[in-house]
């Protein structure tokens, strides 16, 4: 009976502690509540408890010190860890919206923020996965993360982690909570722009737009034993007065085998688009012209917009 009383006291004490923490969180100012919400994935339990019990006058100093402890290079003005963390929150919001809550609060958002973009990301339509349901499989090197959408309605839940990689997960979580910035990560969708003039005679200009897209920044979906995605490219040229003089739109379908995907990781997918301007070119010759490029990856739902200036 005595042992039961001790156990009961412990349960009651834990419940009272949880209630006290909940009350402290409810009484936070909007600024402090937002801070605590945004750092939920990297703040330790000790840090959270300390923050909640501090008087409001000392909380700003705590926040400042919180980020300083995670600054990988205090000698520079910019805190690279803080910048990367909030960039991942923003990107997770863009990539994983539509689950009835902000994208960064979803299971996929949480994993994305903690570990960064996966090395490979594969999606399976209904019935085509091992589980017979809509699935996303992410790889960080050889470390797999599986999300299942049981009803195929866009609600993805983190369901399994291969237990053989449990140590990898613990190390990754520890890294996220220590003042260390990951030295490498998968790139966001990106590309470079090149312009090549072929003919420039009187009122006729022929040229070539060259786009280079690193394969490492492209997300694919699984299809049978291979992978596929579609890159949606849009180009337009405007003169110095912002008048549209040429435009182009095309979708490029990419299909790769597993071997090709692995072999191409350090290579780029190249697109060459020829253009011809056979109209009076006075405006183009008088100032800075603009080439705007918009690239969208249909699988990852990422979109990048870049502008290049050029003169004739």
Q: Would you say residue 184 lies in a domain? A: no
Residues 64 and 85 in one domain: no
Residues 221 and 284 in one domain: yes
Please enumerate in sequence order all residues whose Cβ is within 8 A of that of 8, keeping only pairs 6 or more positions apart, or say none.
Answer: none
Please report the DSSP string for 140-176 in residue order.
Answer: ETTEEEEEEETTSSS--EEEE--GGGHHHHHHHHHHH
Q: Domain limits at 212?
A: 192-310
Q: Pick from 208, 212, 191: which is nearest to 271 by CA?
A: 212
Q: Would you say residue 246 lies in a domain? A: yes
Do residues 275 and 292 touch, judged by C-beta distance below 8 A? Answer: no
Q: Pick from 259, 266, 262, 267: which is nearest to 225 by CA?
A: 259
Residues 49 and 94 in one domain: no
Choose one of 68, 89, 109: the last residue of a domain: 68
Res 133: pLDDT: 63
Res 273: pLDDT: 96
Please report the DSSP string for 209-238 in residue order.
Answer: EEEEEEGGG---EEETTEEEEEEEEEEEEE
Distance CA 109, CA 157 (A): 11
Res 224: pLDDT: 67
Q: Would you say residue 242 lies in a domain? A: yes
Q: Would you say residue 223 lies in a domain? A: yes
Q: Would you say residue 143 lies in a domain? A: yes
Q: Would you say residue 187 lies in a domain? A: no
- Residue ranges of the chain with per-residue pLDDT less than 70: 1-21, 124-133, 142, 160-188, 222, 224-225, 300
pLDDT (tens digit per residue) in 129-168 = 444 468 888 887 767 788 888 888 888 988 755 444 445 5
Residues 197 and 304 in one domain: yes
∠ CA 210-192-241, nearest 5°, is: 75
> Tokens at residue 309, please?
């200036």
pLDDT (tens digit per residue) in 246-296 = 999 999 999 988 778 778 878 999 999 999 888 777 777 888 888 999 999
Distance CA 152, CA 291 (A): 40
Count CB atoms within 10 A of the CB of residue 179: 15
Residues 110 and 209 in one domain: no
Residues 198 and 292 in one domain: yes
Q: How many domains does the chain have?
A: 3
- CATH number for the domain including 266? 2.60.40.10
């Amino acid at each position: 009976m005595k042992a039961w009383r001790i156990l009961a006291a412990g349960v009651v004490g834990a419940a009272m502690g949880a209630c006290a923490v909940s009350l402290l969180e409810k009484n936070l100012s909007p600024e402090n509540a937002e801070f605590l919400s945004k750092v939920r994935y990297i703040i330790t339990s000790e840090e959270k408890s300390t923050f909640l019990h501090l008087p409001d006058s000392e909380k700003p100093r705590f926040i400042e010190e919180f980020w300083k402890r995670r600054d990988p290079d205090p000698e520079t003005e910019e805190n690279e860890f803080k910048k990367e963390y909030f960039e991942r929150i923003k990107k997770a919001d863009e990539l994983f919206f539509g689950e009835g809550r902000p994208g960064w609060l979803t299971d996929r958002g949480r994993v994305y923020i903690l570990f960064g973009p996966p090395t490979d990301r594969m999606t399976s339509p209904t019935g085509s996965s091992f589980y017979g349901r809509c699935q996303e499989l992410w790889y960080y090197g050889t470390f797999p993360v599986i999300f299942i959408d049981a009803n195929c309605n866009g609600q993805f839940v983190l369901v399994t982690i291969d237990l053989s990689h449990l140590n990898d997960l613990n190390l990754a979580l520890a890294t996220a909570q220590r003042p260390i910035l990951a030295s490498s990560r998968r790139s966001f969708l990106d590309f470079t722009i090149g312009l090549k003039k072929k003919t420039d005679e009187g009122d006729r200009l022929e040229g070539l737009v060259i786009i280079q897209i690193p394969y490492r920044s492209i997300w694919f979906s699984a299809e049978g034993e291979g992978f596929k995605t579609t890159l949606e490219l849009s180009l337009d040229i405007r003169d110095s007065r912002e008048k549209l003089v040429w435009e182009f739109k095309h979708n490029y379908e990419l299909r790769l085998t597993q071997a090709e995907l692995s072999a191409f990781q350090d290579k780029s997918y190249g697109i060459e688009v020829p253009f011809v301007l056979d109209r009076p070119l006075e405006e183009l010759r008088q100032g800075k012209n603009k080439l705007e490029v918009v690239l969208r990856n249909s699988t990852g739902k990422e979109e990048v917009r870049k502008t290049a200036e050029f003169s004739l």
